[in-house]
Amino acid sequence: MEALGNLALDRGRRYVNLDDNLRSLETKLRRLVGRKSDLGSQMTDAERLGTKKRKRGVEIWFEEVAKIETEFVALKTSIEQGNLLRNAFSSGDGVEKMDAIVEDLIEQSKHFDGLLLEAFESRGEPRVTTKLFGEMFDRGLKAIWAWLVIDSISNIGIYGMGGVGKTTLAKHTHNHLLERTQFKVYWITVSQEFSIKRLQDDIAKRLRLDLSHEDDEDSRAAILSRALVKQSVLILDDVWQEISFEKIGIPLGANKCRVILTTRSLVLCNRMSCQRVFDAKTLATNEAWDLFKHTLDTKTVLHEDVEEIAKSIVKRCAGLPLGIITVAGSLRGVNEICEWRNALEQLKACSVGHDEMERDVFPILEWSFNRLNKCERNCFLHCCLYPEDWKIKIKGLIDLFIWAELMSNRESWSKAFDEGQTILNKLIRVCLLEETKNFMGDDCVKMHDLVRDMALRITHGNSKPKSSRDDVPRFLVKSLGWSNSKVTLEPKKWTQDLHAVSFYSDMFQHIKIEVPPAWSPNCPKLSTLCLSQVIIKEIPDSFFRYMCGLKVLNLSRCQGITDLPNSVSDLVNLTALILRDCNDLRSVPPLGKLKQLRDLDLSSTEIEDLPQGWESLINLETFNLNQCPTFSRKIIIPKGTFSQFHCLQRLFFPLDSMVQVNDSEVLNQLKSFIGCLSFTDFYKITQWPKYYIVYINDILTEGPFYDFEDWQQLYFHQCKLGRGSNYLPDDMKSLIIEECEGMGIRCLSDVFKNFINLSHLSELEIKDLVGIEFLWQLSSASPRDQLEVSSFSPLCHLEVLRLTRLPNLVGLFCGESKPSYLLPASTFSSLRELWVSECHSMKQLFTVQLLQNLQNLDKLYVYGCEGLEEIAADGNGEGQGGGEGIQLTSSGGGTTMISLPNLRCLSLDMLPQLNNICKAAMICDSIEKIKIFDCPKVKRLPLFPPTINGLSSLPSTLCKIRGDKEWWESLEWDNPCAKNALDPFFTAQP
């Protein structure tokens, strides 16, 4: 009985202390779980490397910890939810037993004799490879390694041009996996003559399987799928065609097989559903030099003069590892400087002279070329007509494709352009071209030097005749650099089989080219002739005599030439005559016989008249006479002139000369137009081109002195504006009105019916317009409905507003009745610059409420407005024009403080009646310069509101305040300390 009593007493104590014991157990269990987490992290990292695996005793410990975690949750739930009296004793026992187990597991974790065992086993032989050079390879190894430890990634692609080092990177990845992971790694070189069975056989050999008894592809695939178990990595090198993993028998997945493939095509990576791709790029200059020296011989010391040549040789390889290795290998043991010089000259001539280069580098590059269709091949080869390392503007390149008629689609310029862009996209994807941008940010492509050399070799364009091919056009290409001061064309090189000739000089140095007198090259197949950025004083009339097949004549940026030879008139197959930026060119021969001509570019020349016979060029798609300031007479192109020009899509006439188009109907078919129209013809346009810059003038003056920087611009000059149902183009970005008359109209909305709804208008400039009183007219019919944001879209997107010498201007807005109209809060919200000068009838510029909307205002200039009394009125005034106009307020009610966070410059000059800038305090945290002259009635500066302690708040951006000394001293301040704080920034007028 006593023993039984002691047992009951002991259990009673456990019941009484149950809550405390349970909390103690929970604390110990948290320590145990934390220990488990720490050990698990250590082992997981090592296990992912594949070099180690868990000891069996450690594995059992993890299993017991997991079990005790589950049992504790059940025990705690039983205590909290069960019958306390019924479960008290059994629960107390359970807590005690579990506490002992937890303490034991914690103790065990302190005495593990190592957690892991070595896990190496025979999983394949390492690949023989070369040393890695360059940041790209290091980045590639790290990226691929990081992707492989992500369970969801099972298909990785490495792509790049031939010879860039894809296989080398893959080999190092292969060896890396063997050395540091538990993966089974299988290397397969995919033959160019790919077949499913052949690839299955190659994989089977790596797996030591025999598939010779099985002919059915599906059955073979099933066998391979079972053999490619978890933690298998299959590296497929040099993939040229899309492969179906299912048909081969490759089971992709984290618990199955992973694939790393190398290819030259990003398209192929995408088609094969690569989840991650690595773009293998060429080496940087210093990396290329290191690889060259390493391959040449690390012990070889090059003399200074030889090293200079060697670096030039390395530069020719343009960072392509395979080219560098091949060239360096062929130069091992070469000591004489003459041999180094000879090697460099051979490289420059694109005839390396080393069998290794011809065997290893160019066949790889040429293979990609051979896979293109005929159209793609021709387009690719024409890229080599540009100088080495040239960033070729995509638009200009596609123009060349179109001019040379390399593509089948000639329905329209836009369709041909799309086809050209599609071809370029493919050439980029297969790594024959590289995407880049020039210093202007234009989209460009670039040819790798060795790729260009390959193209020149194929076309026999300054290569050995034995390297040329019969199935490609024959080119003659010469880039003129600093070493050439004068070049004479060599008749012996202008052979009968030439298809394209290109001579380019450096864009910073025009090289003089001399054409032998009375020379007539016999080149009947010549299609493209580019003599660009050179100096040519004269081209003999005989020069084009036997070029009957010429389609493209590009003499752009040729200096010195003043006239084209008369023989150009007989080039009846010519499709493009490009004379852009021939700054000395004054005339061209009659062009009426060139019926096939589609592009005629005479822009930025000194041509004095329209070419004779141009009216007969009815197949023209582009006619460009932009920026030709030297026309000797006024020219009016009459109605009907362009009625037969059904293909015309781009028409550019000079804006600063005497050419006016009175055939407005042509604009309805154009995609782009630059030129001058009469105001009468402006009314007749029903469909505007997509791109336009139009000068509208009735009297053919000397033209505007204005820099047109963007498309979608109209410039009305010296026009008589009147009421009518005239519409501006909806997509117009810039509107300039200068020296026009608006007598009888009060508002620009009376002239242009959609003036209030121009959603793209970002710049508005009005100068010397007589008669206009307001800019925008508001109807009183339904003021609040009308003033939705969409109704005032130009005011929401307007960025620049310039108003100059508008003698009748009373205000910006005009309404027909007295009630206050609410402008939307976004009115002028995009405005960055506001310039108002010599508008003498204005008394108020806008309201305080409207000023609050100008959150993006950067510059505010007001000059010479004799009647202006307030910059921002308080919104209670009833009129701005003798009681007829109304003062508009913005929604939101009155305010005593406004913020203009982006205002940097404030300039007020010659405003004799200006009493007040703004009655509300202005917070201008970005203000830099303040200029106030000849504003004697302004007594307060609202830009520096006082802080709590009464001192002015000075923005850190403030640099200078300029004004009259007397005015500055007469200003009134809420706190005298404010003036003392601002005095250091003030500079008096000299």
Q: Give percent above pLDDT 90 in the chain.
A: 25
Confidence of residue 526 (pLDDT cuts 50, 70, 90): very high
Give 914's contacts (C-beta < 8 A, 6+ positions apart): 868, 869, 870, 871, 908, 935, 937, 938
The two three-digit tokens of residue 314, written as one number: 């390395």
Q: Report pLDDT digits (tens) over 695-715.
A: 888 766 665 555 666 789 999
Phi/psi at 912 (5° precision): -65, -25
> How does pLDDT run across 9-44, given as a tens digit for each residue?
444 444 446 777 888 888 888 888 888 887 877 776
pTM of the model: 0.65
Confidence label for 483 from pLDDT (cuts 50, 70 and 90):
very low
Rounded to an integer, what distance in angstroms lies between the CA atom of residue 209 and that of residue 221?
Answer: 12
Cα 864 to Cα 241: distance, rounded to the nearest angstrom: 75
User: For residue 53, what pLDDT is reported?
Assistant: 60
Q: What is the largest CA-CA distance in the chain?
A: 139
Contact at 8 Å (CB) between 122 and 45?
no
Neighbour count for residue 831 (Cβ, 10 Å) = 23
Q: What pLDDT sits at residue 213?
A: 78
Q: What is the dihedral of CA 365, 369, 371, 375, to 10 degrees?
A: 170
Amino acid at 638: P
Distance of alpha carbon 99 from its chain centroid, rounded? 65
Which of 197-201, 497-501, 917-921 has the highest average model confidence (pLDDT)?
Answer: 497-501
Reported as a single tens digit per residue, the pLDDT across 825-850 is 678 889 999 999 999 999 998 888 78
**Could you tell me which of 592, 513, 594 has the C-alpha nearest to residue 555?**
513
Segment 907-916, tens digit of pLDDT: 999 999 999 8
- Written as one string, the DSSP assignment of 137-160 is HHHHHHHHHHHHTSTT--EEEEE-
What is the distance between the alpha carbons of residues 631 and 586, in angstroms, rounded to a whole number?
10
Tell me: pLDDT of 83 over 50: no
Other Cβ atoms within 10 Å of 145 Cβ, number: 16
The answer to whether the CB of 604 falls within 8 A of the CB of 628 is yes
Point out which residues pair with 890 in neighbouring strands: 823
% of the chain residues with pLDDT over 70: 81
pLDDT grade for 465, boundaries at 50, 70 and 90: very low
**Whether the predicted pLDDT of 882 surpasses 60:** no
In the predicted structure, residue 976 carries a pLDDT above the cut 70: yes
CA distance 253 to 230: 9
pLDDT over threshold 70, residue 91: no
Quick: pLDDT tens for 186-242.
988 886 667 788 888 888 888 878 787 788 889 889 888 888 877 789 999 989 889
pLDDT for the residue numbered 84: 43
Which of 155-159, 511-515, 672-676, 949-953 is most confident? 155-159
Q: Tokens 């062929």 correspond to what residue?
A: 330
- In whole angstroms, give the CA distance from residue 331 to residue 314: 12
Sheet holding 916-918, edge to edge: 844-847, 870-873, 916-918
* Residue 169 Rama label (left phi>0; alpha psi -120 to 50; beta): alpha
- What's the burial of 69, exposed, middle or buried (CB within 10 Å: 0-12/13-18/19+)? middle
CA 110 to chain centre: 58
Please provide the size of the chain in residues. Answer: 990
| Rounded Cα distance, 172 and 141, in Å | 8
Tens of pLDDT, residue by residue over 355-377, are 444 555 676 567 667 778 899 99
CA distance 479 to 544: 22
Q: How far apart are CA 558 and CA 532, in angstroms?
A: 6
**Torsion angles phi and psi, residue 616, rounded to 5:** -90, -5
